[in-house]
Structure 1
C-alpha cells in the first residue's frame, strides 16, 4: 500500500531516512552525555532530515529553527515583542504585563513545555498544544528533538552564547526575570545542530558537542536511499527502476570523482534523487537525446558566472 506523499521534495516530515549504525551510536552518545549532536557533511547529504526522522520514529516532540545571519542566541530561547508593547503603552492600555509580549522559542518549548504555556507561570496557559511542535499528537510526548539548522551561518557569538543554556539546560528571560529550567517529566532531549562548514565554529562550542560527519555517498548507499524514497512514494522497485537508479549512481560517482571534481561543487544525494525522479517522470534514460540537459540541470550544475 502506498504511503501519502508529502508536498515538496524536501518535506522534513521524518518519514524516510537511511540511518547508519554509526550515526545511531552517535545519537545514543549524545543522549547519554546530554550533549548536542553536531552534524557536518556535504550539502544535501541528509543532515537536516535526521532530526525529524528520529523524532517521528521515537514518538517525540519535534522543533526546528533555521539559522540566518541575523539570528541571535536568544531567538532560540525566547523573543520579546517590544514594538507591540510600546504601541499598547501609547494606547494607554492598563495593567500591561511583560509576560504577554514574550514568545517562547524552540529550546524553551522543548525543555519546559508547561512553563512555556504559562510564560514561566506568569500567565494562564493559552494553548492546548505546543505551537512550534511540528509533530503534535493528542498525547504529548515526554521527550523532544530540536533541530538547529545551519548554525555556521550565524555570527560566532551565537554558538558561544548558547553554551550556558545548552550545558545547564536553564536560562533566565531578561524582560520578566523568569528562570526556565528543564522540567522533570521531560525525559530524552536531543539537540541536533547542523553545519555546512561555511564558517569555522568556536572551539569552546565544538568541545561541548558530540560531533559526527556524514560520509560521502557511495554507489551502494545511493541505491539504498533511492529504494527507500521510491518505495515510500509508491513506486514499484522493479528491475527497470533499479537499473535506472544504478546508472544514475554511476553518473553521480563519476561527477564526484572526475578531473573537475576539485573545482566544481560536488553533486549531492538530494540531486541524485532529483535526477532519478526527473528521468522516471520524463521517461528519459542516460544516453538519450534529453539526458545531457537533465544531467546539467540536476547532477552537473555549473557555478554561476560573475557578470
Structure 2
C-alpha cells in the first residue's frame, strides 16, 4: 500500500492520499491498457483527489475539467471563439493583423494532456507564423514536470447527458481528434525529450504516458459503450480503523490525536447506519475530516458540552430544523 495517500480526502490538491493496494493496482492496469480509469463511489470519498495526487507524486503534468449539465464533449477537446472572430472580421482590413483561424482556437484539457506542443500553438504549424502562443495554465503542482507524461481528471461525468461520454469514445480510444475550424487532426505527441523518469509503480516500461481519470457520483447511468472502454474501480466506505489511518495521514504520525479520531470514526459509523436505515444521505469521509479539524482547532472532545452539536453540524446535518 502506498502510504502518503488517502482513498477519502477533501484535499483536491493531491498533497495527501492513502491509496489501497486495490486502487494502486487499478491505476497500473489503466496505464497498462491505455484505458481511462473510472472511479465510482459516494460523494466525498476522495475520487477527485487521486488524479492530482498521482501527478504530484510522479511529477506529471495535471489538467482538470469539472463537468456540468451544459458540458459537451468538444469542450474537453477545443472551443472556438466565434464572437471574437466575427468582431475581427468586421474591422477595416488594415486593422485586422495577420489572419489565422488558429488564433480563435482554445485547446481543451484533453488536447493539452495528449499534445501540449500542438496546444501551445493552437494547432498551427511554424510556417503559419503565429503572432501569439497559447500558454498552458500552471496547475500549482511542484516542479519539475515531466513534459511527456500527464494526468487528466474529468470530474463528475454523470452530470452531463450521455452524449458527452459517447462523444469522448473516439478521442480517448484512438488518442486523436479532428479540429474542424482549422481542418487539422490532433494526435498524441511522441516523447519530446530523452529524460528517463525514475522507475516507480506507474512509470515502468510498457505503461502509458497519459492517464485519464474519470469520476462519477452515480447520479446518471453511464453508456455501456463508455463503461466497456474503462477500467472501473469502486472506492469503498472506510471502516473506523481506516478512518483513523486517514486522520493520521493528513496530520502526520505523532501529531494526530488518535483517540479523538477514533471517537469521531465511531460516531460517523453510527451516523451512517442510521442514515441507511432511514434512507437518508450518509455522511462522507470528507465530513469526518472536517469534524476532526474542527475538534482539534476548537478543543472539542467527546466529553465536552459541544460534542453533540459538532456532530450535528458536521456529520448528521438534518434536513430540517426542529
TM-score (norm 2): 0.85
1:304 & 1:99 partners in 2: Cα distance?
A: 53
Match status 1:190 vs 2:206: no
Q: Show the counterpart of 1:172.
A: 178
Q: Show the counterpart of 2:201.
A: none
Q: Show the counterpart of 2:288.
A: 272
Change (3 A) 1:78 1:144: same
Once the two structures are overlaid, the 10-residue window that deviates more, 223-232 or 28-37, is: 223-232
Change (3 A) 1:194 1:84: same
Deviation of 1:287 after TM superposition, in Å, equals: 4.0
Deviation of 1:121 after TM superposition, in Å, equals: 2.9
Alignment partner of 1:107 out of 107, 110, 115: 110
Change (3 A) 1:259 1:126: closer
CA offsets 1:232-273 (integer angstroms, 9 cap, x no match) = 9xx823xxx110001000000111123754421101100000
Q: Show the counterpart of 1:63.
A: 63
Deviation of 1:178 after TM superposition, in Å, equals: 1.2
Match status 1:97 vs 2:100: yes
Could you say what secondary structure the match of 1:71 adopts?
A: coil
1:297 & 1:280 partners in 2: Cα distance?
A: 16
Number of residue pairs matched by the alignment:
292
Deviation of 1:130 after TM superposition, in Å, equals: 2.5
Could you say what secondary structure the match of 2:147 adopts?
A: coil
Match status 1:87 vs 2:103: no
Match status 1:223 vs 2:223: no
Could you say what secondary structure the match of 1:44 adopts?
A: coil
1:82 & 1:49 partners in 2: Cα distance?
A: 35
Structure 2: gaps spanning 5 or more residues: 1-8, 193-207
8 A Cα contact 2:14 2:50, kept in partner: yes
Q: Show the counterpart of 1:137.
A: 143
Could you say what secondary structure the match of 1:299 adopts?
A: helix
Q: Show the counterpart of 1:199.
A: 220
TM-score (norm 1): 0.89
8 A Cα contact 1:284 1:290, kept in partner: yes
8 A Cα contact 1:73 1:159, kept in partner: yes
1:132 & 1:284 partners in 2: Cα distance?
A: 39
Structure 1: gaps spanning 5 or more residues: 1-8
2:33 & 2:118 partners in 1: Cα distance?
A: 24
2:136 & 2:181 partners in 1: Cα distance?
A: 22
1:267 & 1:133 partners in 2: Cα distance?
A: 30
1:53 & 1:259 partners in 2: Cα distance?
A: 31
Deviation of 1:182 after TM superposition, in Å, equals: 0.4
Q: Show the counterpart of 1:119.
A: 122
Change (3 A) 1:136 1:165: farther
Change (3 A) 1:141 1:280: same
2:303 & 2:269 partners in 1: Cα distance?
A: 17
8 A Cα contact 2:56 2:142, kept in partner: no
1:273 & 1:259 partners in 2: Cα distance?
A: 19
Deviation of 1:168 after TM superposition, in Å, equals: 0.4
1:73 & 1:30 partners in 2: Cα distance?
A: 21
